[in-house]
Structures are given as C-alpha cells and as structure tokens.
Structure 1
Amino acid sequence: MIDEAVQPLLDGFVASVREIAAVEAIWLHGSLALGDYQRGRSDLDVVAVVSSPPTPAVAELHQELMRSDPLAAKLHCSYMLRSQLADPSVRHPTFAQGRYFDRPVTPVTRRELAIGNRTLFGPAPAGLLPPTSDDELSAFIRRDLREFWLPATRKRSNWYADIWVDLSLLTIARAHVTLATGDLITKRAAFDVLPRLGAPADVVEDIRRRRYGPAFRTGPWWRHTRAGLTRRFVRTAIPAVLSSR
C-alpha cells in the first residue's frame, strides 16, 4: 500500500510524463517497492520504460512537480529504452537529486524491481525485465564496496554529511546479507545486522532515529565524532564483508 500523501504525486507524474514521453511502463523500486517507505525521508524511486529517448521536457516536468509539491524533490526516475533493458551497463537518462544526468540501472535496482514487481502503469517488471543472476548481483556489490565505498574513506569531508553516514552503514549491512545468502533486505532490516558487524552503536542509533523518529544528537561535536567513527568502521567492515562467505 502506497502512502496516501504520495499516491496523488505518483498519479500526477504518471499522467504528465505519458503526455511528453513514449512511456510503455512505470515501475517502483527501493523502499516504495519493498515496504519500507518513510514519508519525507525515503526517496520515491521510479523507472520509466520508454520506446524512444526522452526529450528535455521530462526534466522540465520534474522541476514543475518540485515547485508544486515538496515531496517531488525525492521523486527520482530513470528512463530506460525498452530495447536496452537487457544491458545493465547502459547509462540511462535520470532525474534525481534535482538534476538530469545519465546513470546505469544497477543489478541491485534490477533485483529490487523483480522482487517488488510493482507497476504504476503498463506491464509489470516480470513481464519485460530480464532477470539478474546471483553472480551478476554479487559481482556488482563487491565492486561497489571495493571501488566506491572503500576509496571514499580517504576523504574526510564527506563523512560529516548525513547521507554518507546513512548510506555507507546501511549499504554494508545489506551487502553482507546479500553476499552471504543471495537475499536483498530492506534498510529497516539492515539495522539488525549492523551490531553483528561491529558498527558503532551511537551512530547506528543516530541513523535509526533520523530515519524513523526525531534525531537525538545535534551540533558540530557530534558530527565530528560521528564522522570519525563511521570512517573507521567502513574501513574495517568492507574488507571483512568482502572476505566472508
């Protein structure tokens, strides 16, 4: 069941984007598809399957939605050509974080689409999207940890931002489970995994409260302390996760 405040935004997006793009299907992934959506905190992750490349009008549509509804700032959509659905290396036009750019639809997103199988318009993912193998999923997760998250610990400034703290710990916990079992878990379920990986308890609680309730710490001292704790954990946890079976 989609949040009642979000449904009108999604309905309006579907109706509007179909007027300016050759849309064949619109799918949900992320927390909306997996049942862990938190209003105002979670992103609204969407994929639109199109039969021809979208025009710049889609970026204008997103900007207009953001002006009319604050929740639209978190509406992220990748526009995938139907002819390219089978190739995970293709970079697709995407509107996210207030800008329009190209990025691939990753094996993790593809698996989320398959698990959720949630559609706003047209055929469901199971009817169009080729399956992602366990080997493809595992290889992507290992590469993401090794080539993105681990090198990111070399730079101190990133770790003062909430999003880096949140995503790094939750990504590591979810990666640990997927590499061990092949399953994808929600961000909520990741909180139960982090203590077993040795994550700093105060940082875990900070993330939990900012996602599911009011924050319990503020100010520069905590941000500085949290940044150091998070960087040290990420540096040690990633090699451990990559070496585990």
Structure 2
Amino acid sequence: MPDDVDAVCARYLETADRHEPGLVEGLYLQGSVALGDYHPGVSDIDFVAVTTLPPDPAAVRAIHATLPRRPFFDGLYVTWDDLRRDPAQAPPGVAVHERRVDPESRFERSLVTWHVLAQSGVAVRGPAVSALGVHTDWPALAEATHRNLDDYWEPWLARAGRGPVGLTPWATAWGVLGVARLRHTLAAGRVTSKSEAAGYALETADPRWHRVIREASRIRVGGAPLYRNPWRRRADLVGYVRAALDLRPSR
C-alpha cells in the first residue's frame, strides 16, 4: 500500500478509536487503491468503514475533521449486513465526500463499489474481503453500465452539439476516461481502472483519437499538454465520445 495511504488510514483508525472506541470494526479500501491505479497527489483514498450500528454523524464529522485535507479520504459507513445485500435495497447512510459528511447519502452505495470491493478490495482492519460475502451481480452491473452510456453520455453529446460543453481540461479527462472505462468494463466483465481503460481505448479506437486519449491521461497524472487550442481538444473529445458510443458492446 502506498506510504501516504497507509499513513492516512493509520491516523483515521487511531482517531476513530480514540473518539468512538469500538465504532470502526472493519476498514476496507476500494477505488484506485484497490484497482492498482493510485497516484499520489492526484488520487483520492476511497474507503468503506464497517460498523455494527449506523454511526452518529457528529462523531464522524469530529473524526474526519482531524485528517489531512489531501488526499481526500472519501467513503461510506455500512454494516456487515449491508455488504451482503444489493446496495440498491440498502438504506442511505453516512458518507464522506471531500470532507463533507452527509448523514443520509447514497454516495458510493452502488454495485460498482461492491464489485470493486469484492474483486480487489484492500482490508486494513477486519476479516479478509473474501470472507465478507459481498453482494455482486454482474448482469445487473452490466445493464447499469449500458444505461449510463445511454442515459448520461448520449444526452451529454446532445448538449455538446448545442453549446461549448467540454472546454476545460477536467472535462476532457472526465469524458474520455469515463466513456472508455464504461466500455472497457463491459468488454472485460469486471470493473476496470481509468489507466486500464485508457490503454484499452488506445488499442481499440481509430488512431485519429489517440491524441485526445493520451491528453486525458496526461491531465489526470501530469505531463506536458498535447494541445494548445482548447477548441481543438474539445472537438476531439466530442469526436472520441461519439465514436466510442457507436462502438459500444451490444447488450
């Protein structure tokens, strides 16, 4: 585990045990750490904290207020039973996103989180992930992934056709890597990382889109820009998203 991740987790557990002894029975990492795609100074630390009973939001705020501002320690609080059932059927609960604590949130309560945890989650405290009985349902996750492409990215393209959507560097990384990751997840039959998805995009996309794919990766992890003109970058972003949606795997 990267040193900064290990340090944040240790500080979190020490603080939680001091403020609310016995509260955090299990701590697991998902997201980029679990997928082998964590980049210090860029990535967040995505956690799943397991408690017997739903925690007091005030106690959670007190614990997280003591942690470093970056990297963000983002995640959710669940019970052991929550992990064994479809997250869509579990009630909302306490979650932390960019240091903000929401007592009734659905943040990260999704099949994507449950699948990443089951695939390669990192146990910091508690039983091994393989012993948790985490609920997974690949057909449902695949269908949800198709819906994301249909219900979010197709309308995004329509908005891009009506106005200057996608001009920022962030939008380039979000669009290219977001669509590529959804397509790669469907092709691979598992949740994949953004870096894996960029490699998949380079292997499967027309060479005309390679520049914007590399630029999206560069925006995420650093390096010299590949575009001077944001409008040219936007045009390639829109073109790549259109081409990727046209080539999506069939249901």
TM-score tier (shorter) = 0.7 to 0.9
Matches within 5 A, 1:67-146: 69-72=68-71, 74-85=72-83, 86-89=85-88, 90=90, 91-101=92-102, 102-103=105-106, 104-146=108-150
Assess, with a 3 A threshold, how the Cα gap between structure 1 residues 127 and 207 changes in structure 2: closer, same or farther.
same
The aligned residue for residue 218 of structure 2 is: 209
- Tell whether the 8 Å contact from 2:74 to 2:98 is kept in structure 1 after alignment: yes
Q: Structure 1 unaligned segments of length 5 or more: list them.
A: none
CA distance 1:82–1:238, shift in 2 (3 Å): same
Q: Residue 239 of structure 1: CA displacement?
A: 4.2
**2:86 and 2:136 in contact (8 A); partners too:** no
Q: For residues 60 and 227 of structure 1, do their structure 2 counterparts lie closer, same or farther at Cα, with a shift above 3 Å needed? A: farther
> Which letter does structure 2 place at the counterpart of 1:168?
G
CA distance in 1, matches of 2:144, 2:136: 11
**Whole-angstrom CA distance in 2 between matches of 1:8 and 1:99:** 21
Aligned-partner SS, 1:5: helix
C-alpha distance in structure 2 between counterparts of 1:97 and 1:125, whole Å: 25
The alpha carbon displacement at 1:242 in A equals 4.7
Secondary structure of 1:159's counterpart equals coil
- Residue deviations 1:1-51 (CA, integer Å, cap 9, x gap): x11133111110122234337222111111111222100111111111122
Identity of aligned residues (%): 27
Distance 1:115 1:193, change over 3 A: same
Q: Are residues 6 and 139 of structure 1, via their aligned partners in 2, closer, same or farther at CA, if it must alter by over 3 Å?
A: same
Amino acid at match of 1:197: A
Contiguous gaps of at least 5 residues in structure 2: none
TM-score, reference length from structure 1: 0.83
Stretch deviating more after TM superposition (158-167 or 30-39): 158-167
Does 1:187 pair with 2:194? Answer: yes
CA–CA separation in structure 2 for the residues paired with 1:99 and 1:12: 18
CA RMSD of aligned residues (A): 2.5
- Alpha-carbon spacing, 1:130–1:6, altered in 2? closer, same or farther (3 Å): closer
Counterpart-to-counterpart distance in 2, 1:82 and 1:183:
23
Contact 1:49/1:79 (<8 A) preserved: yes
CA contact (8 A) 1:117 1:124 kept: no
Helix, strand or coil for the counterpart of 1:160?
A: coil
Runs (4+) off by over 6 Å: none
Checking the alignment, whether the CA contact within 8 Å between 1:76 and 1:97 is kept in structure 2 is yes
The 2-side partners of 1:181 and 1:8 are apart by 33
Counterpart Cα distance in 2 of 1:222 and 1:129: 50
